[in-house]
Chains A and B, each alone.
Chain A
Amino acid sequence: KNQVEQSPQSLIILEGKNCTLQCNYTVSPFSNLRWYKQDTGRGPVSLTIMTFSENTKSNGRYTATLDADTKQSSLHITASQLSDSASYICVVSAGGGTYKYIFGTGTRLKVLA
């Protein structure tokens, strides 16, 4: 069964600190993996998209990694800001022209001043 699991479920950090969010998946075939940021009351916003051949991609203070062998991804946030408080959702696309997007349940991050 295609699944995407994220950890931790929630996280609280102090402003300026770094953090890493984890995503494990069992999706086959694999097309790409995305990380989204979802602010409360808003739709998800894409942060990064990685294909099978990419193992790291950055977007400002956000750096995503992908290990396609172990089917794991991480999202590292550097020097966190209050505006980073949001849910971060990992999404894996099952390829082969299926257009199936399997969403994780997200990690809820709270950054405190």
Chain B
Amino acid sequence: EAGVVQSPRYKIIEKKQPVAFWCNPISGHNTLYWYRQNLGQGPELLIRYENEEAVDDSQLPKDRFSAERLKGVDSTLKIQPAELGDSAVYLCASSLGTSGEIETQYFGPGTRLLVL
């Protein structure tokens, strides 16, 4: 069974440019998470989807970040315009969405963003 797929794996852009990340969760997983992980830190939640609904986007910097999950499957996370401080690894995770807070989250390999 394929795991969580993310692309691209690496992205280098200049500041003020836009960038987009794509995530394909495990088939059948209703809940999808986007995290940001700074170097040497643990991941921080940006947004959580249940199916196509964003149920927690309280940590998403809405002035420059946006996300969508059309049809409740794949998701994209966009930054426009990117700033130097956005350099980080962006992780996507998914879970079944049937067992509440106890269920296991499965993470993708992440997209490593470098803003110059």
Which residues of B85-115 are within 8 A (CB) of A? 91, 93, 100-102, 104-110, 112
- Most chain A beta-carbon contacts within 10 A, residue among B102, B110, B112: B102
Q: Which of B44, B101, B112 has the most CB of A within 10 A?
A: B101
B interface majority secondary structure? mixed
The count of A-to-B residue pairs whose CB atoms sit within 8 angstroms is 53
Contact A43 B42 (CB under 8 A): no
Partner of A31, one of B48, B102, B106, B112: B102
For the complex, give the distance between the alpha carbons of A54 and B93 in Å.
25
Chain B residue contacts of A99, Cβ below 8 A: 48, 55-56, 101
Binds B, one of A61-69, A73-81, A90-98: A90-98
Inter-chain contact A103/B44, CB cutoff 8 Å = yes
Interface size bracket, B side: 20 to 34
- Are the CB atoms of B42 and A49 closer together than 8 Å? no
Inside 8 A of B101's CB, which chain A residues have their CB? 31-32, 93, 95, 97-99
Q: Please, how many residues of chain A have a CB less than 8 angstroms from a CB on the other chain? A: 24
A46 adjacent to B105 (CB under 8 Å) = yes
B49 to chain A, nearest CB (A): 11
A105 and B40 contacting across the interface, CB-CB below 8 Å = yes
When distances are taken between beta carbons in the complex, the residues of chain A under 8 Å from B55 are: 99
Contact A45 B107 (CB under 8 A): yes
Instruction: Give Cα A104–Cα B37 distance, bound, in whole angstroms.
Output: 11
A: which residues have CB within 8 A of B? 4, 31-32, 41-46, 49, 51, 89, 91, 93, 95, 97-101, 103-106
